[in-house]
């Protein structure tokens, strides 16, 4: 057991790591009899995951819900919930990336299939019970959703929001690095940057504490060195394992502090455009880390030992240089963003927790300048 796994086990006891789920009898010990698996249509074409799907069908007699591989929305959650309730399942397996995990988390506690899920958005209303057990099998290393109580989705009005409840935690988590070997580089990068952003935002959060320092130090160092190695050699199973564990550690970090201004910007962009979340996050990091450190230079002490130099300018430059390694194309938006509409979503009550969880509040002028560099 490596140090990264030991650290994660200090904060999360409910996970298992398997080199080969099909040959691992751990999943059978769960002893459930009526199982349904939720996954997305693109994953059914990935050879390693296709084998797992066939195993779940034949060995565990699992039924399946195959969703379109898009961001989760209210329709996905409501339709999945109805199918789960009607089938009277006792275990639902989330096989996929953060989107699939978020759908399952919401569906497992959304006990009234006839009530709109938007009624619960932003903790407007609390859930009362969990209707079945849940198992996460992440196929990406990024969101850390397997260890958070947050489910992010798009509402009926197409605005990105979240559900937040203790009941949404997964009961079991099963990591299998081999399931991530076939990920294309752009997905690996986007997910890795998302995980790093969780750790960096946790480090500069107003809710930061010493517990987070341990998680952030270990997680940042791991992603910082492992992600570039994976871009050079995508089938490096050791680095894939490190990224999964680091993503889980990042999930635990934001569980304690929540996300900040970077995610507020990214969620707003995600509500208005089709820009991938990882790219929106990378863009947010580039434009929020430096001004945050300028605004409160006491935060620099939290970065001690993480980078070559803990001065404000060098920290921001190191992060920018690291992101530049991946040649991320930020100019992916075809049309100019309506700034008034951006501000309307940015200042929604559901986003207040992220806006308030920061030492730096960008002005309207700064936000306008930030957006101008995004479109082609």
Each residue's pLDDT tens digit, 289-310: 888 988 888 888 898 888 776 6
Confidence of residue 32 (pLDDT cuts 50, 70, 90): confident
Give pTM, 2 decimals.
0.93
User: Average pLDDT for residues 329-343, to the nearest whole number?
Assistant: 77
Contact partners, residue 279, CB within 8 Å, separation at least 6: 190, 328, 329, 330, 332
194 in the same domain as 98: no
364 in the same domain as 285: yes
297 in the same domain as 331: yes
Instruction: Quote the number of domains for the chain.
Output: 2
Q: What is the pLDDT of residue 219?
A: 96
169 in the same domain as 63: yes
- Domain assignment present for residue 188? The answer is yes
- Domain assignment present for residue 14? The answer is no
**Boundary residue ending a domain (175, 194, 229):** 175
- Domain assignment present for residue 13? The answer is no
What is the CATH classification number for the domain harbouring 29?
3.40.50.1970
CA 62 – CA 82 distance, rounded (Å): 17
Q: How many helices (H) and strands (E) does the chain have?
A: 13, 8
Q: What is the pLDDT of residue 88?
A: 87
The β-bridge relationship of strands 150-154 and 63-67 is: unpaired
- Domain assignment present for residue 8? The answer is no
Helix (H, G, I), strand (E, B) or coil at 66: strand
Q: How far does the chain reach from its first CA to its final CA, in angstroms?
A: 47
CA 21 – CA 295 distance, rounded (Å): 48
202 in the same domain as 154: no
What is the CATH classification number for the domain harbouring 321?
1.20.1090.10
296 in the same domain as 350: yes
301 in the same domain as 203: yes
**Boundary residue ending a domain (122, 152, 175):** 175
142 in the same domain as 204: no
- Domain assignment present for residue 6? The answer is no
- Domain assignment present for residue 203? The answer is yes
- Domain assignment present for residue 356? The answer is yes
152 in the same domain as 43: yes
pLDDT digits (tens, 9 = 90+) for 198-211: 999 999 999 998 88
* 277-306: b (≥16 Cβ within 10 Å) or e: bbbbbbbbbbbbbbbbbeeeeebeebbeeb
CA 292 – CA 285 distance, rounded (Å): 10
pLDDT digits (tens, 9 = 90+) for 88-145: 898 999 999 999 999 999 888 765 555 788 887 776 566 667 778 999 999 999 999 9
For residue 256, give both structure tokens: 């304690």
CA 145 – CA 152 distance, rounded (Å): 9
321 in the same domain as 188: yes
- Stated as kind and residue range, the H or E segment containing 2 is none
**Boundary residue ending a domain (141, 175, 209):** 175
167 in the same domain as 243: no
- Domain assignment present for residue 7? The answer is no
With CA atoms as reference, report the closest residue to 108 among 16, 173, 171, 26.
Answer: 171
114 in the same domain as 72: yes
The answer to whether 138 and 245 are in contact (CB under 8 A) is: no
Domain that holds residue 290: 183-372
């Amino acid at each position: 057991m490596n140090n990264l796994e030991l650290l994660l086990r200090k904060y999360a006891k409910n996970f298992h790591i398997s080199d080969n789920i099909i040959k691992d009898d751990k999943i059978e010990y769960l002893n459930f009899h009526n199982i349904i698996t939720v996954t997305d249509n693109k994953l059914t074409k990935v050879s390693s995951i296709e084998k797992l799907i066939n195993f779940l069908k034949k060995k565990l007699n699992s039924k399946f819900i195959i969703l379109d591989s898009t961001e989760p929305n209210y329709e996905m959650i409501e339709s999945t919930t109805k199918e789960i309730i009607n089938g009277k399942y006792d275990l639902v397996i989330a096989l996929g990336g953060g989107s699939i995990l978020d759908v399952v988390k919401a569906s497992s506690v959304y006990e009234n299939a006839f009530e709109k899920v938007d009624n619960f958005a932003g903790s407007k209303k609390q859930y009362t019970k969990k209707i079945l057990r849940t198992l996460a099998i992440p196929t990406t290393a990024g969101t850390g959703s397997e260890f958070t109580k947050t489910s992010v989705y798009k509402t009926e009005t197409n605005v990105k929001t979240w559900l937040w409840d203790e009941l949404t935690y997964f009961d079991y988590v099963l990591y299998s690095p081999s399931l991530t070997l076939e990920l294309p580089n752009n997905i690996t990068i986007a997910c890795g940057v998302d995980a790093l952003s969780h750790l960096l935002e946790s480090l500069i959060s107003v809710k930061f504490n010493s517990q987070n320092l341990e998680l952030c130090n270990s997680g940042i160092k791991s992603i910082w060195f492992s992600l570039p190695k994976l871009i050079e050699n995508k089938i490096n199973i050791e680095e894939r394992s490190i990224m999964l564990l680091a993503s889980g550690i990042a999930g635990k970090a934001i569980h304690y502090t929540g996300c900040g201004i970077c995610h507020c910007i990214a969620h707003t962009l995600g509500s208005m455009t089709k820009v991938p979340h990882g790219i929106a996050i990378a863009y947010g990091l580039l434009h929020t880390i430096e001004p945050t450190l300028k605004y409160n230079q006491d935060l620099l002490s939290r970065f001690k030992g993480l980078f070559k130099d803990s001065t404000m300018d060098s920290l921001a430059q190191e992060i920018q240089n690291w992101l530049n390694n991946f040649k991320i194309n930020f100019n992916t938006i075809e049309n100019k963003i309506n700034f008034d509409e951006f501000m309307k979503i940015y200042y929604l009550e559901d986003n207040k927790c992220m806006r308030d969880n920061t030492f730096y509040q960008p002005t309207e002028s700064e936000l306008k300048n930030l957006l101008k560099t995004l479109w082609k």
